[in-house]
Amino acid sequence: MRTIVVNNQKGGVGKTTVAVHLAWFLAEEGYSRVLFIDLDAQGNASSVLSDERQAGLSSGLFIDPNFSVTGEAGINVLAADEKLNIIDPQMAVAVPAMAKAFAKLGAEFDYCVIDTPPAWGARNYAALLVTDFVLSPIDLESFALQGVATLRKQIRLVEEQGRKGRKVGFLGLLPSRFVSNSPRQRENLKALVTQAGTSLMFEGVLTQRQGYAEAVAVKTPVWKLKKTSAQEAGREARSVLTTVKSRMAAPIVA
């Protein structure tokens, strides 16, 4: 199983939109068994994926010692519930329990996509602890750039403390909701590339387009909507997701 966490502690940057589209994309091809874990108690991704196979509650990973899931072709959802909010105070026990429960899922699935909440805490720590890859959507409004250093620091913290130095495969910062005709956003993108360096940037962007919200509202990938604007968004999304998938196929550095 190859695991990817969609992560940025900043809210509203497109994490859930990217995560659900990635799950749809991975499940579309062949008979992939995709596990989707919603760690955000807001449950946005769980609502969008409510027509997919419901495989349990993600809080079970942290608090149920007998947690298990069998994998089926398509998307298998571990949905968010309010118990996710009580994990932080029990972090010292809940995080190792999650890592143990998660390790048992490896044989059941081909891919795992984890959507994370917009706040640092036990769930983000656990997700970074167990993952192979991280993708970080980022918006290009003024304060977004300040978050990049924090994001990198948190990944490093988990690598050093939790992973005994084992690196996370950082796929990059993915500019999301990019308004390409906004001079301010173009300036911010330039500043971001200068600050982060090209090696930290994902090779592609997701433009701000109406189609994404419409698609998510009807629980369908944007490339399946008929409107011309959605088709354009769909082409862009598929191109980004094709790159994500091929990067996930690369050998994992131990």
Ligand X SMILES: Nc1ncnc2c1ncn2[C@@H]1O[C@H](COP(=O)(O)OP(=O)(O)OP(=O)(O)O)[C@@H](O)[C@H]1O
**Residues in contact with Mg ion by the rule CB under 5 A:** 15-16, 44
Q: Contact, 234 vs 216, CB < 8 A?
A: no
- Out of 3, 7, 32, 44, the only residue in the binding site for ligand X (CB under 6 A) is 44
- Sign of the Cα torsion 152, 153, 155, 159 reads positive
CB nearer Mg ion, residue 4 or residue 97? 4
Where does this chain touch ligand X (CB under 6 A) — which range of 39-47, 66-74, 75-83, 91-99?
39-47
79 binds ligand X (CB under 6 A): no
CB nearer ligand X, residue 111 or residue 212? 212
Can you name the residues that pair with 201 across neighbouring β-strands? Answer: 173
Closest by alpha carbon to 29, among 69, 66, 73? 73
CB nearer Mg ion, residue 106 or residue 121? 121
185 binds ligand X (CB under 6 A): no
Provide the 10 A C-beta neighbour count for residue 216: 19
208 binds ligand X (CB under 6 A): yes
Question: E strand or H helix at 243, and its extent?
Answer: helix 228-249
Where does this chain touch ligand X (CB under 6 A) — which range of 21-29, 86-94, 125-133, 209-217?
209-217
Beta-carbon-side half-sphere exposure of residue 210 (alpha carbons within 13 Å)? 5
CB nearer ligand X, residue 60 or residue 137? 137
2 binds ligand X (CB under 6 A): no
Q: State the nearest-atom distance from the C-beta of 116 to Mg ion, in Å.
A: 8
Place of tokens 């971001």: 192
Q: Contact, 182 vs 208, CB < 8 A?
A: no
75 binds ligand X (CB under 6 A): no
- Out of 86, 213, 250, 252, the only residue in the binding site for ligand X (CB under 6 A) is 213
Can you name the residues that pair with 33 across neighbouring β-strands? Answer: 74
d(CA 217, CA 27): 19
Q: Residues interacting with ligand X, by CB under 6 A?
A: 11-17, 40, 42, 44, 118, 176-177, 206, 208-209, 212-213, 216
